[in-house]
Amino acid sequence: MLVKWIRCTVIDRRGFERGQRKWAGLPGEPGFRGQGGGWSRGRPQVAHVFAFWESRAFYDSFMARAHDRLAATQAGTYRDAQVRLFDHRFDVKMGFEPLFTGVDVVRIAHCKVREERVEHYALMQEKVWNPAMAGSPGMVRGLFGEAPGNEFLVMSMWQSEAERGKYRRERVERLLVRAQTEADVAALSGDVVQLEPSWTV
């Protein structure tokens, strides 16, 4: 599965949201699995959109045909768009589905990993971070994605920000030490996204 992550700064919120609803036609596209998104909790003008495709071939076909017509409805409503594609490597909790039901917030961690530490980083994600997140009552589903150039995306979907906050307070510092994350990661950025139900396709 291919994961597309779009982050942009919105300059016309009403126009952007109106355009976002136009993506409702996506389910008719071959290989399309789901899309959703919302606003950054820390930077209210930043929007995040996540789209899921069965494969790169289906995604490329869509980009060559229907994408520009749909995207035109949002022209001029945002700036600084950053688009990244990741291959789904494994689930953070068993049975990941590209659904946004039962979810209030999405946490994303975008990591650039030192080349000689990639295997260790992936192993720690699987053996240390995943069980900890999967065992947190408020965590619904998640995935670990990889892109060329030692780039990784960890996406976790939570019932609420309060549930995610409990996990962060109780476990994160201890897990960082155990997983030797500082030694693995050259750069880390992240965000917490408040989902907008009307954007879910």
What CATH number does residue 28 fall under? 3.30.70.100
In a domain, 70, yes or no: yes
62-94 pLDDT, tens digit each: 999 999 998 999 999 999 999 999 999 999 888
Give the separation between CA 49 and CA 47, rounded to whole angstroms. Answer: 7
105-115 pLDDT, tens digit each: 999 999 999 99
Structural domains in the chain (count) = 1
In a domain, 201, yes or no: no
In a domain, 197, yes or no: no
Residue 47: pLDDT over 90? yes
Residue 172: pLDDT over 80? no
Residue 112: both structure tokens together: 């650039």
Q: Taking residues 22-48, report their average pLDDT.
A: 95
pLDDT band for 177, please (50, 70, 90 cuts).
confident
In a domain, 139, yes or no: yes
Residue 200: pLDDT over 80? yes
Give the separation between CA 81 and CA 79, rounded to whole angstroms. Answer: 6
DSSP characters over 158-181: ES-HHHHHHHHHHHHHHHHHHHTH
Q: Taking residues 125-129, report their average pLDDT.
A: 88
Residues of the domain holding 131: 2-192
Query: Model's pTM, two decimal places?
Result: 0.93
